[in-house]
Chain A
C-alpha cells in the first residue's frame, strides 16, 4: 500500500487494554473469612482449588473447588471491590463435593477458597491469578 502522510499519522483504535498492577487485598475479604469461620483457626488439607495461572479473560475466569469432606466451600476474589464470589453447600448425600464456576476478576489477585469440613474444622486453599494486557508472546 502507498503510505500517505494523512494515513500515516491518523489515530488508530485500541493498542492495549488496561490492566492494572496486582490489587491490594481489601479488608472486606478477611472480614468475610472471619464471618464464615467465626474466627476459628484455618488449616490446610482436604481442599483443592484449580484456577489458571494467567487469566485468558479477566471477565470470565474458570475455577473449580473440590473437597472430600466439605459441608460448605466459600470462594473469595480477595482483590475485587466485593470479594464474595460463591458459597457452595453439600449435603450428607452429595455424591461428589465439587463445584465449578466462572468468576470475574478486577485485576491480578489471590482467589481464596475456605472449606468447612464435616468435623467443623476449616481449611484454606488459594491461587494467584494474573490478569495481564499480554501481547508479546515469542
Chain B
C-alpha cells in the first residue's frame, strides 16, 4: 500500500516538481528532548529564492498560549482533508508522537499539561530572531505578512494599530495584505498605509463607487531575489464588508475576483515574472479552490483561517503554505526557480517556542516601549482560572472562553440568550493562571465591541443561526467567510452540517427552562460585535471584566448544548 508521504512525493514527481518539508526533522528532535534554537532553525538553504511567511498575528507582541482546534469540520470536497483534521488524526497523518513538542504546537490533546512542560509560544522578539537567522543565510529573502496584524490587543486598540506598525516596520516586511486592519476605519488605514515603508497589496481591493482597483493598494509588486524576478500579488480578505462593519470603510469593495486575479497573473508573467507568489487572506479552502481556477501561481501563502500545516498542500502546479496565527509559527520556503519555472521547494513550519528561541534584544526593547505607557492597566489581575479550567476559543463551536463571555453577557445584561462572534483569534489561559485585563482584551478587543441587548423572536434566532452556519458549512468554499459558528449561551441546538441552508439547525432549546424555542415568542438576547452602525451598549471587555471580578475563580460547567451531526 502506498503511504501518504510516498504519494505526496510521487505526485510531485509527476508534476516535475520536487519538494521536502523540514517538519519531520523537528518532530523527531523533539521526541529526543533535544529541542534547541539551532535545531529549530536548522535548514539546508536550497535553490535561489527564500520566502518567509507570517500571518494573523492579531497584535500578539508577547509570547502566549494558543490551543489549536479540537473541532474543524470540512464539508463538500474538503471533508476529512487538511486543514480539517485535528488531534490524534492530525498527529497520525504527519507522524507526530503523542506528548511531543509538535503535538503541543499542532494539536489540542493534553494541552494544559503540555503547555506547562513546553511553555508559551510566539512573541515578535522571537520571530525577529528567526527572521534574522533566515536573512543571515539568504540576505534577500522576502518577508511577507498575510494581514490581521493591526488588531487584537489592548495596546493595539489604544494606539489604533500604531504599536504593531512600529514593531512590524522594525521587522522590515517586503509586503503585506489585509483584513481586520480595515476595522480601524478607512481614514486611519489610509493614513498608516500612506506612510508604510513596504508594499500594501490587494488585487481585490476596489474602489466601491466605481468598482475599479483602488489607487492606494496596488495589486502586485516585483522583487529581485537570488537573480529571480519575483511577483508578489496581494489578496485581501474577500468578505470584509460582510463579516466586519462595512460602514467603517465604505469607500472599499472586496470579493474574491478570481478573473481579475488571473488577469494580474497574466500581466506579471507578461512582464517577465519568473516566480508568482500570492500573499493571500482568503482562508485555506478558498485558496485551494482559487488555485484550481487561476493558473500560473507558483506559491500561495495562505492566511485567515489560522491553520498551521507542517507541509504545503499541492494543487496542480501551485503549493499552498499555511502558517498558523497569533505569532505562533513562521514558515520558511526555499524555492529553486530556473528559466521562469519553479522546479522544487524546501519548506519548514517553524514553531516559535518562546523558551527555546532567544528574543532579539532590539525588538524586545521596542515591544516593551510600546507597552510601557499601558503596563499598569495591562497587568491588573481581574480573576483566576480554577485548577481544572483552561480557557480557549479555537474550534468550530463554543470554546471555554466563549462560554465565559456568554455567561458574562447573560448575567451582566439579564438576558435569556447570549451570542458571541465565531472569530478564530484569542490566546488561551491555563488552569490556575491569573486572568489579567490584557488577557480579556486579547479575546475581545475590536473597534466595534459594543454589547447590544435586543429582543429577538425564536424564528429570527433560527434565521441567524442558519445564516451563520451557511457561512461555515456551505459546500462551496467561495460562499464561506472563514469564521467559526456563532457562539451561543443559554441556547441549545442540533446542527446537521450536511443539510442545506434553512434545515441545518433543529431542536433549539432555551436552556434555563428546557423548553423548545417558540418561533413566535420573543427572547432577550445579548451579544456583541454587531456589524451594524449605531449599535448601543457597554463595551464587551467591561462586561466580561465585571463578570470575572465577581466570580473571582473561573470554573465552568462543560458545555454540551450543541449537538453536531453529519460529520
CA distance A16 to B242 in the complex (A): 12
Pick out which of these stretches binds chain A: B87-95, B334-342, B453-461, B511-519: B453-461
Q: State whether A130 touches B306 (Cβ < 8 A).
A: no
Q: Verify if B466 is at the interface (C-beta below 8 Å from A).
A: yes
Q: State whether B482 touches A20 (Cβ < 8 A).
A: no
Q: Verify if B506 is at the interface (C-beta below 8 Å from A).
A: no
CA distance A57 to B255 in the complex (A): 12
Q: Verify if A35 is at the interface (C-beta below 8 Å from B).
A: no
Complex interface: chain A residues within 8 A of B536 (CB): 10, 12-13
- B440-456 vs A: 1/0 string, CB under 8 Å? 00000000001111111
Q: State whether A138 touches B531 (Cβ < 8 A).
A: no
CA distance A42 to B265 in the complex (A): 34
Q: State whether B529 touches A56 (Cβ < 8 A).
A: no
Q: State whether B532 touches A15 (Cβ < 8 A).
A: yes
Complex interface: chain B residues within 8 A of A1 (CB): 538-539, 542
Q: Verify if B475 is at the interface (C-beta below 8 Å from A).
A: no
Complex interface: chain A residues within 8 A of B460 (CB): 16, 18
Pick out which of these stretches binds chain B: A46-54, A72-80, A86-94, A110-118: A46-54
Q: Verify if B535 is at the interface (C-beta below 8 Å from A).
A: yes
Q: State whether A137 touches B243 (Cβ < 8 A).
A: yes
Q: Verify if B309 is at the interface (C-beta below 8 Å from A).
A: no
Count of A residues near B, CB < 8 Å?
Answer: 37
Look across to chain B and name the residue whose beta carbon is closest to the beta carbon of A102. Answer: B211
Residues A133 and B452 in contact in the complex (CB < 8 Å), given A7-B538, A21-B502, A56-B254 = no
Complex interface: chain A residues within 8 A of B424 (CB): 138
Q: State whether B414 touches A9 (Cβ < 8 A).
A: yes
Complex interface: chain A residues within 8 A of B305 (CB): 138
Q: State whether B530 touches A15 (Cβ < 8 A).
A: yes
Q: Verify if A95 is at the interface (C-beta below 8 Å from B).
A: no
Q: Verify if B481 is at the interface (C-beta below 8 Å from A).
A: yes
The contact size tier of chain B is: 35 or more
How many residue pairs between the two chains, A and B, have CB atoms under 8 Å in the bound complex? 159
Describe A's contact surface by its main secondary structure: loop
CA distance A137 to B423 in the complex (A): 6
Tell me the residues in window 226-240 of chain B with beta carbons closer than 8 Å to chain A beta carbons: 237-240
Q: State whether A21 touches B501 (Cβ < 8 A).
A: yes
- Which of B421, B422, B456, B532 counts the most A-chain CB atoms under 10 A from its CB? B532
Q: State whether A57 touches B241 (Cβ < 8 A).
A: yes
Look across to chain B and name the residue whose beta carbon is closest to the beta carbon of A3. Answer: B546
Q: State whether B530 touches A14 (Cβ < 8 A).
A: yes
Residues A13 and B306 in contact in the complex (CB < 8 Å), given A136-B471, A137-B483 = no
Q: Verify if B47 is at the interface (C-beta below 8 Å from A).
A: no
CA distance A10 to B525 in the complex (A): 12
Complex interface: chain B residues within 8 A of A7 (CB): 538
CA distance A134 to B529 in the complex (A): 11
Q: State whether B452 touches A138 (Cβ < 8 A).
A: no
- B129-165 vs A: 1/0 string, CB under 8 Å? 0000000000000000000000000000000000000
- B510-554 vs A: 1/0 string, CB under 8 Å? 000000000000000101011111111111001100100000000
Q: State whether A3 touches B466 (Cβ < 8 A).
A: no
Tell me the residues in window 27-56 of chain A with beta carbons closer than 8 Å to chain B beta carbons: 50, 52-56
How far in angstroms is the closest Cβ of chain A from B295? 17
Can you identify 22 A-B contacts, CB atoms within 8 angstroms? Answer: A3-B543, A7-B538, A8-B414, A8-B538, A13-B535, A13-B536, A14-B532, A15-B452, A15-B525, A16-B460, A18-B460, A19-B467, A55-B242, A56-B208, A108-B501, A132-B471, A133-B468, A134-B242, A136-B471, A136-B484, A137-B240, A138-B306
